[in-house]
Amino acid sequence: MMGGEELQNGQTSCFQLDFAICSQLSNDFNYCLAVRNPMRFLLTLTLFGCCSLIAAKHHHARVPIIDLRGADAIRASVREDENIISTVPELSIVRSTGPVCSYVITGADDSTTPFEARVVDKNTGEAVFRVKDSATLDCKLPEYKLQLQAIKCDEDSVKSEPVDLVITIKDTNNHAPEIEDAWYSFNVPEGRIVDNIGSLKASDKDCGHPNGEICEFQITNALKDLPFAINNQGVIRNTQSLNFTETKSYILTIVAIDCAMRKSKSSLVTIHVEEKCNQGVTNFGDRVNYAPGTGSKLIMPDVSIQVCQQENACEPKQVETTVELKAGHVTPGCTKDTVYDNETIKTCGLSSSAVQLVKDEDLTSGGVAVSKELVKDLVPDHFTFSFSMKHDGGNKEEQSNKQNILCETDDFNMNRHHFSVYIRHCKLEVVLRREAGSTADFRAAEWRWALPQVCDNQWHSYSLMFNGIDNVNVIVDGKTIGADERNPEILDDWPLHKTKQALTKLVVGACWHGRQQKMAQLFKGQLQSVFLLTGKVESEQAIKCAHTCPEQIQFTGFDELLEGQTATLSADQNVLTLKAATSEHISKMLRRVAYVNTQATPTPGHRSFEIKTEVTCQNKKIQLEASKGYIFVQQLAEPTLSISASTVLKSNHHNVKVGQAMVPDLTITISQANADGQIEDVTTKHKIDYCKMHLQPGRDMDVEYFSSPASLIASLDIEFEHDKDGILLRGEESVRGYKEVLSKVHYFNTRPESYNKRTYTVQCAMLKGRVLSNELFVTMSIESSTTSTTTTTESPDTIQFNFNSAENTLDTLEMMDRHFEPDFDQLGSSRLQNILEMDLPRPKALLSHRGYDVGQGAIAGGAVAVVVVVCVGFLLVLLVIGVLKMRDTPMPRRRRQKRQSDGGLHWDDSGMNITVNPLDDVEKNGIADDFSEDDEDDEEEDSEAESECSYRDEEDDVSEDEEEHVEVLPHCDSTQRGGASGGLEWDDEDAIATNSRSYRV
């Protein structure tokens, strides 16, 4: 009974269970196994089977499940112009819940959406989202929140649970900006700068930044130099005053640009110029460019002054205009730097005996002692003391203390003030005590001037002029300070008492206290241009001339003034006052105002000038609006130094042996841009500091040498140096001088076959090395000689050598070069020295190094180097032994005559007559040879004079005295050339000092 009821109930409950509940029967089955009643076990087993059949049936109609892969929704983003939508995660279903044939997308309010999903794989549910063909996306609806359901195939009623679908729309800047109106019209008054003439409005249908925002407005026809501008907010302004007479209206084309740089269509804007009375200064250019050295330049050539009579109800009776130049910020005080420059001294007639006590850069707050060489004696009672000063009053304590500008006191043991110029209580005071021995009178010894310039903290120039203690004047900024009963205050005193101490010390910026041996009463301010002229007094006219500002206003129309018109310049010529009856006349006068700067190198920068006009009517005065302009003094362009020559030079073995000019066609030019920007040749206006000519790589000092025109160098301010790399010419000299020297420098090589080409550079500099020229690269190709060179021996001719001038010497040397042309194939390196020495003797400073440098030979190897070193060492030993023997036993002078067996160049002494100045012997006894290497021992000089002039002899001389490291050129040593009777004699000392020898060969 119970079993039947349970079965019936079990069957009923089994059939009523859905698929989800039947899945839990596995637990019940486990429970039935635990029951001991067999009937109950069979009943449970039957029940479980029934439920399994029902579950299988229900599996056929299972709903699809959209696979979110752990996400809370499906998200996607799409541009306005795109059709295919990518989702995250990708759309699919749980595989066991398929297949699906479609998806349904619904909105929150079940409205139609512009999207659809097309199934690609039914089993996996993969589908493609896209925008419907009939739909258009717009960023104004930036986001769609939708519901998505999967529909099972063949069973439209079986749908998955809805999932959230969020689609974001991105803007694509598919709309151009739009200006509200296609045409605008505005008015602007003539002669005024208006910051807001009118404004334009624009919009963009795109969304957000950057596509939907307007970032810029642009005037597209601005290339016509229209005087208008528009800002990013669409506000139009004019950049310069408009003239109704010139243009009555302007038409602008303006576009709006969004932040993505898409432009709108153009909108036309018409701006009408309203004619109006422009009272004041018109046609006034506020910028004037001035080039140094151009003289005076008109600064207002087109200016005009207008007075609106109707608006002001004024009929002008007189018009007065002032033009003021303000250059104080560029050259403070305008005169402090130019009172005692060379140009002012010459122009104004100042005494050249005035000395600058201390250089401006040496002035310090601690005081600077004046050199005894500048001021040797005490400051007398006739002098002129000039200085520029900038001084602040400071507090009361500082005002009560002396602040010395110039002070002369005892050097030791006492603090007596013989002379001093100082500041105290904002007064300029001078103490000049009469010295011991003067008449014992109670006379003026101290002067005190109360001057407002002393403590105004501005630069001023002062000149104290003492023409005796009874005639004292002060000039401040070129103006004489008139004396009255109270200014200056004069105090009398007795002369100083006599002491044994006579030494004094003159100090600028402080006072030396000899008793304490320290500086005291320091000056607190700035000083410049401190000059003292002792023994006499400058004229007031010269001082006033020196204080005239080098840059000033000028009026160039004095000869055009009509009756009733006046033009007045201030003393410093920085303020010009013009007066006329009408505004038209005053306008013509203003057009004749000019600016001039007389300095050779003025300080670059701007100087401002201001124009103020006052109109006098019948019953009132009208002040017109002031105008301000600027004068821009330009900086002088640096000159350009250029050198040029043939960059490829062909030579051969023979030419290199006899000497090849390195830059025979050298050209040096200096150019500079003028005020108009045009290039001018200024070669003759500048000088060169140095030039260098270097071989690359460095020269082989065994076989490579240079020859220089020493006679020409001696006549110029040029020093000549040899080094391993090449030669260096230095000294401030004209371009022509350097060109002549460089073009006559020759290159020699005793073994020309060692190089097939040589490369060298030439470079020069000027203006203290600040301006460098281009680096000229020259390549000398050395080819084999096609024909052998033969040596010809000419009959002896009489050649007169006159050393009285460098030009005659140079001509003589060139003649010798033509007369003596040896065959270098038959001469060794020692003979090369004699050929090179056919120039004027060089001083020791121009001699080059003679030491061997192992590894510099182009051909010689290690074995050759060893042999050379051994031979040289052996020769040195023999030389030392010979010198020691000669010192013990004087050797009689012998005349050597060198003859070459090969028929080469030789000297024929038989036909040579030498005329000697008798004074030369006296000079030789008192003055050592300036160009000898060893001048300490007369006997040694005689011995060396007997030796032959050769390269090896010079090596021996250098080795003998290692303490003197004298650099020599590849020329014969002077001691070997002078004093000997063998061969042609060259006396360096006489050739340069007396210039009176004559030779006949």
User: Model confidence over 294-313: pLDDT tens digits?
Assistant: 888 999 999 999 888 767 77
- Hey, what are 168's tokens? 């974001």
Say how far apart CA 421 and CA 432 lie, in whole Å: 9
Confidence of residue 795 (pLDDT cuts 50, 70, 90): very low
The whole-number pLDDT of residue 552 equals 86
- Report the alpha-carbon distance of residue 500 to residue 23 in Å, rounded: 136
According to DSSP, the β-strands at 593-597 and 566-569 are unpaired
Q: Is the pLDDT of residue 904 over 60?
A: no
Contacts 24+ apart (CB under 8 A), 96-100: 96/62, 97/62, 97/63, 97/64, 97/65, 97/160, 98/64, 98/122, 98/123, 98/124, 98/125, 98/152, 98/153, 99/123, 99/125, 99/152, 99/153, 100/64, 100/125, 100/150, 100/151, 100/152, 100/153, 100/160
Flag whether the pTM goes above 0.75: no
pLDDT reported for residue 500: 76
User: Would you say residue 850 has pLDDT above 70?
Assistant: no
List 178's β-bridge partners, or say none.
Answer: 203
Rounded CA-CA distance 896/909 in Å is: 10
931-955 pLDDT per residue, tens: 333 443 443 334 333 333 333 333 3
Q: In angstroms, how far is CA 333 from the centroid of its own chain?
A: 28
Quick one: 991 exposed, middle or buried, by C-beta within 10 A (0-12, 13-18, 19+)?
buried
**What is the arithmetic mean of pLDDT over 234-245?**
90
- Higher-scoring residue by pLDDT: 352, 812: 352
Closest CA to 991 of 707, 706, 710: 710
Average pLDDT over residues 136-151: 86
Angle at CA of residue 746, ends 740 and 750, nearest 5°: 170
DSSP conformational letter for 812: H
Q: What is the pLDDT at residue 902?
A: 41
Which residue type sits at 812?
Answer: T
- C-alpha 530/C-alpha 508 separation (Å) is 8
pLDDT at residue number 112:
77
The whole-angstrom separation of Cα 675 and Cα 687 is 22
Half-sphere CA count of 506, side-chain side, radius 13 A? 20
- Residue 594: the pLDDT is 94
pLDDT at res. 316 = 86
Which segment of 286-300, 476-490, 634-648, 959-973 scores lowest on mean pLDDT? 959-973
Residue 48 confidence class, pLDDT cut points 50, 70, 90:
low
Helix pair angle (38-59, 25-33), 10° resolution: 160
Q: Residue 12: which pLDDT band, with cuts at 50, 70 and 90?
A: very low
Residue pLDDT, tens place only, 54-72: 444 444 457 888 888 888 8
Q: What percent of the chain has pLDDT over 70?
A: 72
Helix (H, G, I), strand (E, B) or coil at 323: strand
Tell me the pLDDT band of 249, cut-offs 50, 70 and 90.
very high
Backbone φ, ψ for residue 818 (5° rounding): -75, -35
pLDDT of residue 556: 92
Read off the pLDDT of residues 88-123 as tens digits, 9 standing for 90 and up. Answer: 888 888 888 878 888 888 887 767 788 888 888 888
Residues 6+ apart with CB under 8 A from 420: 402, 404, 406, 407, 408, 409, 430, 431, 511
Helix (H), strand (E) at residue 385: strand 382-390
pLDDT digits (tens, 9 = 90+) for 584-631: 999 999 999 999 987 767 888 888 999 999 999 888 888 898 999 999
pLDDT higher than threshold 80 for residue 801: no
Mean residue pLDDT across the chain: 75
Q: What is the mean pLDDT of residues 222-234?
A: 87
3-state secondary structure of 593: strand
Q: State the pairing for strand pair 427-432/489-493.
A: unpaired
Residue indicated by tokens 């031979």: 871
What is the per-residue burial (b if ≥16 Cβ within 10 Å, else e) of 547-566?
Answer: bbbbbbbbbebeeebeeebe
How much of the chain, in percent, has pLDDT values that exceed 90? 23
Q: Output the six-digit token pair for 180.
A: 């509200």
Per-residue pLDDT, averaged over 959-978, amounts to 37
